[in-house]
Structure 1
Amino acid sequence: MEIKMNKKLLALAIIAVSSNAVAVELYNEDGTTFDIGGHVSVALEGSDEGDTGLTAVSPRINFNATHELGNGFVADAKGEWALNYLDGGENAFTTRLGYIGVTHADFGRAVAGTQWAPYYAVAGVADMPIAFANDFIYEDHGNLGTGRAEEMLSYGKMFEMGDAGKLGVAAGWQGRKTDSDSNAEYGNRAQIALNYNVAGFSANYSYNTGDVNYATKLKSVTSESHVISGTYGIYGSGLYVAGVYAMNENMNTDAALINKLIEDSSAYEALVAYALDNSLNLSLNYESVVDNDASKTVYSTSAIQAEYNFTDKFVGFTGYQLDLGNDYNNKEDNKWMLGARYYL
């Protein structure tokens, strides 16, 4: 099987979203490839309540490899690190991703390591703009498996159904662990995800569950989430619309200084974007988290943003995020950002 065909196979089989938009291929021979990717992103940011200054916008570098194992199996490996290049210090690199995967057209794909979780393929459909995007997913996402899930074993398979579309099925598991920073104890965690795509539309569902004994709690609680989402189009190509609704238990915290765990919360995310033929991509998004037991809005924001591709590797972006208020008497703080991203 040719290398190009294997790359297409990997792209179809991986349900989790890849963070490697652009890469430089360094090696491609005898069934093995190796490339380097990532981006350097810097922006000027400010807010009503804060000072104006430079910030790094999720910069990273990654190494990616694939290798044909024979009989239609393809192995791949990825290592990705966040870059800290503005304020220096000892932690110049911190781990974002690190995994090994094996893919087969008929048998699906298995991945072991720190990876984008199957849950994120459902909840992250509106997490697209560079400047301001999703927040609720990333609360303790490594341990809870809602974003870049740490120490996860996952399996996924895509079923092609011709004119009826595609159905993706995935599952993930994380073993017991104790967080070294918070001393919280996490039990075995499991999640499933379903993705259905047809005629440019997608409908998605994921369930995530597991017990956690937080250091501030006297006993373990079940942290679980049901999330549904839908999309139309492809972000960065014409019209793209996405909506997300999550029903969470012990997954989010309130806006008070004590960061109290919310027993029953709902999260909402919506995104409408339109990319013009001249590579200008305009978007409007909305996000909020609600404490259902207290009937309080934890936070709510909306942002208007623009991204322009000067070239395939160089993107300019800007955004203004409105703080739509909360029920905790926290002062509203509108934010803005203007920056550039260079893909390696």
Structure 2
Amino acid sequence: MKKTVLASVIAGIAFSGQAFAVELYNNSGTTFSIGGHVSVGLGNPDKDDDPYVTDDDLAVESLSPRINFNATQDLGGGFTADAKGEWTLNMLDGGDNSFSTRLGYIGVSHDMWGRMVGGTQWSPYYDVGGVADMPIAFANDFLYIDGGNLGTARAEKMLSYRKGFDFDSFGLDFGAGWQGENGNYGDRAQLTASVSFDKFMLGYGFSTGSKTGQNDDAMANLFSAKYGSYGDGLYVAAVYEMGSKFYGDFDTTNTEAIIAYALANSLNFSVNYENVENDDSNETEKSEMALQVEYNFTPTFVGYGAYQIDLGDDVSNDDDRYAIGVRYYL
């Protein structure tokens, strides 16, 4: 039997990142756990985030630290409810703004009827589009550009549905999502489909919706493919997206690809590439490649090192970036 994306999502309720969440309570069909991760390292800041930095700047940084609370409840009749709250941690700066919401939703799942989720969540579009978004330091960027409002990554205020079919030789998964007026966008909808067999997965995603005050839609088509499991031997994945959903009002073609190989001792080497092309002006918005390595000192304590090479573009003055540090999974 093949494990579908839906089955992976449901199993992921009890997990956090690459490690088990800490289960604090399990009784009479109810569970409660805490998960997340924190990281600290050295690197040069992104010029897009801080235009005043230079290539020589070196800073202590933390990569997406978070903490989450997870609960599940057996509702009977094959139905299971789950709830998740996840917040970004401000590890390095003082002040009052220590937490900000990453995820917050309630879901109901059934083996036959599928899964419905309401709230801020990873979207069905990301289920098929996030296959190359794996390394700790440098990975996919274009899915996150206004991704909460567009629903291409962590979708804000979304209602989603997923249904998986598990056959003897392959699995099929379907997803749908809807958002009301959100940021600069009106009603939005997305549809996804994927097929998995052996170690392969092929996926397709479509996202569309109006732009507030405009006649045009913010629309995208996405195709993805992967082989293997990241961190377990050979892993290869690629994403190809085309549409007019961000970077202003022009069409773009976006590509992300990764090749990774993990040794038996968990030493994981990877090379990833990302490119964003402005189809209207024929200019390159982003083009970069990263060489990265990760190593599990223990299942919950991971070291990483990475060097990202700026391959040149027509709109910014980005330069090479680097990062080295450790991440601890809760």
Q: Normalised by the shorter chain, which TM-score bucket?
A: over 0.9
Query: Residue type of the partner of 1:58?
Result: S
Contact kept in structure 2, 1:14 and 1:109, CA below 8 Å? no
| Distance (whole Å) between structure 1 residues aligned to residue 12 and residue 75 of structure 2 | 24
Distance 1:91 1:69 in 2: 37
Q: How much does 1:13 deviate? A: 6.1
In the aligned structure 2, how far is the partner of 1:157 from the partner of 1:313? 31
Match in the other structure for 1:5 = none
Question: 1:240 maps to what in 2?
Answer: 235
Q: 1:90 aligns with which of 76, 89, 96?
A: 96
Tell me, what secondary structure is at the counterpart of 1:196?
strand
Residues 13 and 109, structure 1, Cα contact 8 Å, conserved in 2: no
Q: Structure 1 CA distance, aligned partners of 2:146 and 2:250?
A: 15
Q: Which runs of 5+ in 1 are unaligned?
A: 1-7, 254-260
Percent of aligned pairs sharing the same letter: 53
Q: Which position in structure 2 is the counterpart of 1:151?
A: 157
- Contact (CA 8 Å) 2:307, 2:321: kept in 1 or not? yes
1:266 is aligned to 2:260: no
One-letter identity of the residue aligned with 1:331: N
Structure 1 contact 240–273 (Cα < 8 Å) conserved = yes
The amino acid that maps onto 2:23 is E
| Maintained 8 Å contact 1:190/1:208 | yes
Three-state SS of the structure 2 residue aligned to 1:12 is helix
RMSD across aligned positions (CA): 1.9
Please, which of 173, 178, 181 is the counterpart of residue 168 of structure 1? 173
**Distance change in 2, residues 1:224/1:134 (3 Å):** same
Distance between the aligned counterparts of 2:305 and 2:232, measured in 1?
Answer: 18
Q: Deviations over 1:135-164 (max 9, x none)?
A: 10111001000000000000001101112x
Q: Residue 87 of structure 2 aligns with which residue? A: 81
Counterpart residue identity of residue 341, structure 1: R
1:16 Cα deviation from its structure 2 partner: 11
Equivalent runs, 1:21-170 vs 2, <5 Å: 21=17, 22=19, 23-46=21-44, 49-163=55-169, 165-170=170-175
Q: How far apart are 1:60 and its partner, in Å?
A: 0.2
Aligned residue pair count: 317
* Distance in 2 (alpha carbons) for counterparts of 1:141 and 1:16: 24
**Cα gap change, 1:176 to 1:207, in 2 (>3 Å):** same
* CA shift for structure 1 position 221: 2.6
- The residue that corresponds to 1:335 in the other structure is 321
Q: Tell me: CA distance 1:191–1:59, structure 2 relative to 1, closer, same or farther (3 Å).
A: same
Q: Distance in 2 between matches of 1:320 and 1:37?
A: 28
The 1:16/1:270 distance shift into structure 2, 3 A limit, reads farther
1:267-306 correspondence runs (5 A):
267-306=254-293
Report the Cα distance in structure 2 between the residues aligned to 1:102 and 1:342, rounded to whole angstroms.
30
Aligned in 2, Cα 1:63/1:332: closer, same or farther, shift over 3 Å? Answer: closer
Question: TM-score, length-normalised on structure 1?
Answer: 0.88
Contact 1:211 1:220 survives alignment (8 Å): yes
Measure the CA separation in 2 of the matches of 1:25 and 1:219.
48
TM-score (norm 2): 0.92
Distance 2:11 2:55 in 1: 37
The question of whether the paired residues in 2 share the 8 Å contact of 1:49 and 1:333 is answered with yes
Letter in 2 for 1:275: A
CA distance in structure 1 between the partners assigned to 2:208 and 2:148 by the alignment = 14
Q: 1:86 to 1:105 in 2, by over 3 A?
A: same
Report what 2:190 is aligned to: 191
Deviation beyond 2 Å, 4+ runs, structure 1: 8-11, 13-19, 47-50, 218-221
- The 8 Å contact of residues 13 and 158 in structure 1, kept in 2 or not, is answered as no
Q: Is the 8 A contact 1:14 1:156 kept in 2?
A: no
Which residue of 16, 22, 35 corresponds with 1:20?
16
Work out whether residues 209 and 222 of structure 1, in 8 Å CA contact, stay in contact via their aligned partners in 2.
yes
